Structure 1
């Protein structure tokens, strides 16, 4: 019995030593992992502390009630959670903050945060106006659905950490089903609608970005998505591809609202004309706007979403911080909040209806077949030539 008891106790002792060793090894491993987490957390806590009490002047498009309402919600949330005052400076054209940064010429800016579009991002990046390494500095950027959405390149220009996507836009029409019975459009079918329903079709006056994108969708269709549209616009490419667009517009304009002699100044103005039944269609960059407007009875029950057969031009809307921003820490905290599950969920299911760009909330059913953006050089030349030909 004594010998048997000794063997049992010996085995128990050895087992305890093994367990103790394993527990110690695990604890040491955990300590190393925890130290990394604590170090990263300490850096973020330092950013949060520096951001408290600061104001963030956010230069962003102010032409949409839904977007403005969402930003009012975000302002309240950010003030409550982080003691940061977010101030929405409403701009009518994305070039406005760019012009301001150029005028400030490196001096401390009036701008802390910008809603950037692709055309202006390439210029701001090239001129060195933007704060870099944002994806590294913002924890929630790790949640971006980069494997499911084209959100690392902006109008042909790699983001390289100088801006952060917080939503996507897809160009579409909100239209009366009777006039647009098919879910997809072409340049030819749109011309047929304009002829059959004169003065019911139009588009915002370029350089308003909905209007310019409408022209780009037509060019994609008319050129059969020529690969040169996604590269820098050479003189030869412009000479070979653009005439088809101008010839088409010459045919279309006489049938447009106001015979093409006047155009809505914005998507908001065109939407109002559609609400008043002066038009058979309006334009949108929000793939879910038509549902939001129908659910709140802002548009007719017979309204449907329509997109071009090549796919809806899809781009991300992005946030950037000027290198000369007075409150960069607070701006970083604001971007991090915009990428949180709470903010992304509210943006999608709330008044805006903008699809989420983080992996945990990404929903393929909320979007349309996507078509890539044209290179930003095409954006510029289309606007310039349009102004010369039709700007009056």
Structure 2
């Protein structure tokens, strides 16, 4: 009798835990930047669509994906799928922490052939990540802060002088803030564009960046809080722009000047601007860590995210507005400037902090 009871209890335990085990097997833990309401709304739609395929996508929002990268390299992450690029990709590639997935993703065949995605901030992708969208750095401003769509560093300084205390930029190491530094550096020295493609250790970085530090020293007294403090993120800066505290914000989405107005985050009349040398342009990617518990289902998620239906919805200016990576859904982009080599990221952040914090 006791043996019979034990068997019945064991069977009951199996029945009770089976649904849980099944749900766990159908879960994909996706980690990505969570600083945009448009992205969050889009990902809720993705979650709903994937449920029909038996996939429970967990959208884990992070302020900085670098924290997840540290967890992955330390072997303490439950991530099945991550949204990365730049120095975070470099770190994971150097640690051998990513799976080679490109050959397993059928949707790669439909990518826009003009998309230069095989190098990520100067580092060969070598099959470790697949492109998801395109970022182009631009400025959002109220009229008449700038008279032309393309501006120079001198135009920015003049605008700061005409609107004292109402311009700023996100505080590095926020990636929008660091890209603002790179954009200024390129605007001040357009003839050095190819030099910035090289690792920072192989060039005379101190001489190359000297004009940037001189320019910022002149600019900062005219900025919000006299350049003593800065918005923490692009999202915070957009809020200040909406409230009228600032007359300019920054963005990595070339459609934000339409999307943020249509979704009610910014008032009508917001204009898009770029630095004259071109908008710094990069690709953002999806990757699967080697330690992923559900890599095959993560690949199914990637296939969906690269489907024409998902890419068109993502590119819709009434929704996210993030440009598509597919040939069939490609849209005209801003004149592009190449992204800097990833090693410049840390260098600029450290040098900026040493001078201005």
Q: TM-score, normalised by structure 2?
A: 0.91
The answer on 1:379 being equivalent to 2:351 is no
Provide the aligned C-alpha RMSD in A.
1.6
> 1:206 Cα deviation (Å)?
0.5
Alpha-carbon distance in structure 2 between the residues aligned to 1:376 and 1:51: 39
**SS of corresponding position for 1:234:** helix
* Higher gyration radius (CA): 1
Alpha-carbon distance in structure 2 between the residues aligned to 1:51 and 1:136: 28
Quick check: 2:25–2:294 contact (8 Å CA) kept in 1?
Answer: no
Question: What are structure 2's unaligned runs of at least 5 residues?
Answer: 1-21
> 1:315 Cα deviation (Å)?
0.4
Tell me the number of residue pairs that the alignment of Structure 1 and Structure 2 aligns. Answer: 334
Question: What are structure 1's unaligned runs of at least 5 residues?
Answer: 1-49
Q: Superposition pairs for residues 117-132 of structure 1, below 5 Å?
A: 117-132=85-100
Counterpart for residue 55 of structure 1: 27
> 1:184 Cα deviation (Å)?
0.7
Quick check: 2:195–2:203 contact (8 Å CA) kept in 1?
Answer: no
Q: Superposition pairs for residues 348-367 of structure 1, below 5 Å?
A: 348-349=315-316, 350-364=318-332, 367=333
Q: Superposition pairs for residues 294-333 of structure 1, below 5 Å?
A: 294-333=261-300
| More helix by percentage | 1
Q: Superposition pairs for residues 201-216 of structure 1, below 5 Å?
A: 201-216=167-182
**SS of corresponding position for 1:264:** coil
Quick check: 1:84–1:330 contact (8 Å CA) kept in 2?
Answer: yes
**SS of corresponding position for 1:215:** helix
From 125, 129, 146, the equivalent of 1:159 is 125
Alpha-carbon distance in structure 1 between the residues aligned to 2:155 and 2:65: 31
**SS of corresponding position for 1:87:** strand
- CA deviation string 1:336-367 (max 9, x = no partner): 11100010011011510111110111122xx2
From 77, 94, 102, the equivalent of 2:73 is 102
Alpha-carbon distance in structure 2 between the residues aligned to 1:126 and 1:236: 22
**SS of corresponding position for 1:361:** coil
- CA deviation string 1:52-98 (max 9, x = no partner): 95211111000000011111111111111x21111111110121111
Counterpart for residue 83 of structure 2: 115
Quick check: 1:185–1:307 contact (8 Å CA) kept in 2?
Answer: yes
From 168, 180, 183, the equivalent of 2:149 is 183
> 1:300 Cα deviation (Å)?
2.5
From 51, 61, 73, the equivalent of 2:45 is 73
Alpha-carbon distance in structure 2 between the residues aligned to 1:182 and 1:131: 45
- CA deviation string 1:325-346 (max 9, x = no partner): 1110111111111100010011
The answer on 1:138 being equivalent to 2:111 is no
Q: Runs in 1 of length 4+ with deviation above 3 angstroms? A: 50-53
Quick check: 1:94–1:117 contact (8 Å CA) kept in 2?
Answer: no
Q: TM-score, normalised by structure 1?
A: 0.83
Alpha-carbon distance in structure 2 between the residues aligned to 1:231 and 1:298: 38
**SS of corresponding position for 2:132:** strand
